[in-house]
Structures are given as structure tokens and as C-alpha cells.
Amino acid sequence: TSHTFETETTLDHDDELDNQDVENLLAFTSTNDHLDPLKDTDYELIDEHNLQNHFSLEYMKRVVDCYDEINPITGYAPNQVLNTDQIGLELELHGDRTLTYSGEKSTWDSVRSLGATTHSYTIQPTITMGGCVLNPLYMCLKEVSGHISENLKKNLFNAKNIVLTCSKSGKLTSSLVTYWRDHCLIPNLRSRTLLLLDSLPYQVHPDVYKELKHFEYRVIPPKTTPIIQPLDIYYNRQHKKIVRRIYDHLRLDEIDINLSERNNLSKLQSLAHSQM
């Protein structure tokens, strides 16, 4: 096997700027100075003699504030970047881990309803890159008929931080995604908005967002959401933890409240969402 050793004289330095490149760059900068949001109105070449006059404390504060407000990579402020995700939850959460004696043949668990442990509903929170949890929380219940009758609506608990819908499966359909857009996304749009979301078919269709102005969305690649999606990395786990602790409290203290009922589910999610 042969090796080639490169010296300083043989290394490729084509990516470095020579004097002519620097002059061209300076000329380009001076002719396009309208692109600089921090440009002084009376511009002059800054050298060692007038450096102190230009880089004052006030000027540097403007630079820092600009970079704090606008991400230089994306061009969006932290409150303009949103992430949303659909979370499936069983009607009755229960733990899969138990404490028992070594060698025991059968270990029994206790739940209020076996059916409630296999049926699920969907919630869809939205957060910002700045760390804010946005209202309202979107919630889709499972109803056999696919809708809630007028008689049931009269007795439903009305949580101000919840938008409640339903479907036959408890999952979002294309029309329910549109409903989420109108009642949860649009009220939280900024002057510019970038939405990050996973690749679920209904919510990434361009027609859902085509009427929105100053709006962009980016789809997180499939099979990468557990690694890079903000809600999956942290928020979802904490939200589920709060809900699970409430279920465990009712079982351990034998409190007679059925959390799988519609009103109690709304109250539960409203409470958990407000704690986040």
C-alpha cells in the first residue's frame, strides 16, 4: 500500500480568498448594503482609528437583540416556529410493570374496564421553539356513530383550552385535520410561521395550508420523529406522565371516578394541558 504525503505547498487552498476576492466582496457588500438591517445611515469604512466610534455599547446591543429575536439559520423568531403532533391515548391508562414475588405463576393487574384499555382517542398539542405550549389543545374522541348527538352536547363539559371533536376510530380524518387548522392553528399564526410536523398523510397535504399567507411547513422524515421531533423528544412523555399519575391515584386510593367518560376525559386533558 502506498501513501502520498501532502506538504503545505501541495495542499489545495482554492477555497480561500485572495486579495482580489476580498476587494470584490467588499464592493458587493457596499452596493447591497440595503440587505443589512443594522446598517448605519452614514456609512464609512471602519478602520482602527474609528473602530471605537462605530462599535458602541448601543450598537452591540442592537446586534445581540437581532440575533436573539431572529434565528440566523432559519430566519424565524422562536415564537414563529411551531411543532404539532398527534398522540394516541387509551381510554384507561395502566402500567405494564408490576411488583411481585419471584417464582409466582400468575400476576394479576387491576383495571376498571378491559375495553377501555384497548380503545383510544387522540390529542394534538402544539408548542413553539421558544418553549410555549399553545392553546387550545385539540382532542378527538372515539364515537360509534362518528359524531356527538345534540343531546350529549348539552351536557358536555366545556373546557376553554380544549377543542373537542370525534370520529368512529378516535383518529383524525382529513376533515378533522382541516377543523384543527381553522380552530387551533390559524388563531396562533404569527406574522410569519414555520410549522414542523410528521408525515401523517392527512396533515401534510398541501391543500390544507394553501390558503395561509406567510406560512411554511416542513415534514419531519418518517422513522426519525423519536429522534428529532421536539414533542416526541420531551413534551409527549411528560404529558402522558401527568395523565398516568392521575389514573394511578384513582386506582390506588379506590376513588370511584370513571375517567373514560367523555366529560371526565375532557376535564383530565384540560387539567394536564394547563400544567404544561
Among 18-32, 154-168, 170-184, 213-227, the minimum mean pLDDT is found in 18-32
Nearest C-alpha neighbor of 181 from the set 160, 155, 211: 211
> Would you state the cell numbers that stand for residue 163, as one nine-digit string?
377543542
> CA-to-CA distance for 196 and 229, rounded, in angstroms?
8
The CB density around residue 177, as the number of other CB atoms within 10 Å, is 20
Q: What is the pLDDT of residues 29-75, one digit of tens each?
A: 444 444 444 444 444 454 545 545 555 666 656 655 655 566 655 68
Looking at residue 196, what is its pLDDT? 93
Looking at residue 60, what is its pLDDT? 59
Contact between 205 and 174 (Cβ < 8 Å)? yes
In the chain the domains, ranked by start, together with CATH numbers, are: 19-69 (no CATH), 78-96+113-275 (3.30.420.10)
> Would you state the cell numbers that stand for residue 75, as one nine-digit string?
430566519
Q: How far is CA 81 from the centre of its chain?
A: 8
> CA-to-CA distance for 106 and 32, rounded, in angstroms?
77
pTM for the full model?
0.69
Nearest C-alpha neighbor of 37 from the set 4, 76, 63: 63
